[in-house]
Structure formats: structure tokens, C-alpha cells
Amino acid sequence: MTVPNVLQTAFGWTDSHLNGFEVNVGGRHPRLIEGPALSRIRLESLAGTVGDQLVYR
């Protein structure tokens, strides 16, 4: 199960809207990862340092 699917299930959401992660690593400009890319990327590879941020949108 992918992370978005786990979050959708945990919160009782129905995955009826677009979703993605806003990633802010090392104080750079945030980028949005969404769609098929979410199933190919492990979140720990995106934010592995204290202070890195992931926001589920």
C-alpha cells in the first residue's frame, strides 16, 4: 500500500480529490509531488534531515 493510500484510509478519506506532497528540503523552494510519482518515490528519500518538511495536500 502506498503512503497516500495509508493516509487516505487512516483519515477515512475516499481519494476523490487530487493529492500530493509538498516537499521543502533544506530551505529550498517547495516542490509538489503528485500523481504516479507518489507510487514510485519513498518518502524517507525526500526528507531525511531534521528540519525537512512534507505537507500532504
Per residue in 8-49, pLDDT (tens digit) is: 888 898 878 788 888 887 767 888 888 877 778 777 777 777
Q: Are 21 and 33 in contact (CB under 8 A)?
A: yes
| CA–CA gap between residue 18 and residue 50 (Å, rounded) | 28
Amino acid of residue 32: L
Which of 1, 31, 35 has the alpha carbon at shortest distance from 17? Answer: 35
- The answer, yes or no, to whether residue 1 has pLDDT greater than 70, is no
| CA–CA gap between residue 22 and residue 31 (Å, rounded) | 6
